[in-house]
Amino acid sequence: MSLDLGKLVPADRIRGEDDEETRELQDMLARARTYLLSHDWCESVSEAYLGFGVGGVVAVFLFRTKLKTGAEELLWVVEGDLPSAYLVSDRATTAAAALEIYADQMHDWVEAVRKGTGLQDVFPVDASADEERASLLETRIKLLRRDIVPAAAADAT
């Protein structure tokens, strides 16, 4: 199964349910782009798409990036009221799948924080590695899995 860009919304056509949500989604897009470009390995972004989004809460964007090695890569970025993260597109062919993988990665971080096993083997999260942050993230992951992933899956059909 491969990525179907036709099911995604090009960045210049992103619209929310109202003007406020449109602004929120555009702000989230800008933050996601900035997040990607903050990594040393990312040289540029040439295309951006919205896979799924709820303004101010969470959005999943797909970016066509040029790496410093010269290679091109399609990367998902999850952005919103939770830690930003990028995901390779070969394991996630839909926004819903990207959200599932994101939830798994964040759960792994929560577990590593709680067990005190170190964070070297989990996706880096820009948050203090303490019980309070782990608990907050765990709550968001549960909501993501319960409400957002099913909505993203339904939206893709």
DSSP the chain: ----GGGSEEGGG---SSHHHHHHHHHHHHHHHHHHHTSTTEEEEEEEEEEEEETTTEEEEEEEEEETTS-EEEEEEEEESS--EEEETTT--SHHHHHHHHHHHHHHHHHHHHHT--STTS---SS--SHHHHHHHHHHHHHIIIIIHHHHHHHT-
Cβ(3)–Cβ(74) below 8 Å? yes
Identify the CA nearest to 110 among candidates 132, 79, 88, 143: 132
Number of domains in the chain: 1
Residue whose pair of structure tokens reads 């390995």 in the numeric block: 41
In this predicted model, what pLDDT tens digit does every residue of 31-68 receive, in sequence order?
999 999 999 999 999 999 999 999 989 999 999 999 99
Give φ, ψ of 41 to 5 degrees: -80, -10
In this predicted model, what pLDDT tens digit does every residue of 115-138 receive, in sequence order?
988 898 999 898 889 999 999 999
Residue 68 lies in domain: 5-155
* pLDDT surpasses 70 at 147: yes
Q: What is the pTM of this model?
A: 0.92
